[in-house]
Amino acid sequence: MINGQYIPPLVLMNVPGKMIRMRNFSGNERRAKDGRITNTFGQRNFVVKFDEIQGRALEEQGWDIFWFPRDNEEEPLEAGLQVPVNFSDKTMRGEDRKPDEVILVTETQRVRQNEKTVGNLDGATIVSADIRLIPREKRKNNGQIKIAPVLYKMYVKTASDTFDTMYDDLPMVEPSFMPMP
């Protein structure tokens, strides 16, 4: 219950890769051009982009939507919803929680991501994603209550490399020092 009303999970199906913006699955510190820190080290997140109609509808429901700046008035408005990614099994209060699930989908397999591997999605060519977000109450600095997303599960389909399918039958060996023949 948020503000006395039930808010259902937000299920986003077949989200085109171009709608997954500002990816920081690795949790690296990011700075704006003016030097301000826009992402603190360790905070993994990404933004789902919406057109103006979808953004206004979500904003009316109470979701914590932000609007991308425009270079000129003729450009269409675009909205964003920042989604944190958290693999911890404990809340900040020490309570048990279910870690977020991020699953990479390729042509041949599904691979569950973890803290060490999820950063690879920052540079991947994402084709589409299926995302389930759980709403939670977020109290803003001005006292306003908004709906913030909690990632429940995300399936990320990436474009495969031509060479990946050519060499799928060969076993993968971990690197070690071997003299060249």
Report the CATH architecture of 10-162: Beta Barrel (2.40)
Q: Is the pTM of this model over 0.75?
A: yes
User: What pLDDT sits at residue 78?
Assistant: 94
Domain ranges of the chain: 10-162
pLDDT tens-digit profile, the chain (181 residues): 666 777 888 999 999 999 999 999 999 887 777 777 677 788 899 999 999 999 999 999 999 999 998 888 888 899 999 999 999 888 788 888 889 999 999 888 899 999 999 999 999 999 999 999 999 988 888 888 899 999 999 999 998 776 766 777 777 777 665 555 5
CA-nearest of 96, 67, 87, 75 to 26 is 87
| CA 127 – CA 157 distance, rounded (Å) | 6
Q: Cβ–Cβ contacts within 10 Å for residue 49, how many?
A: 18
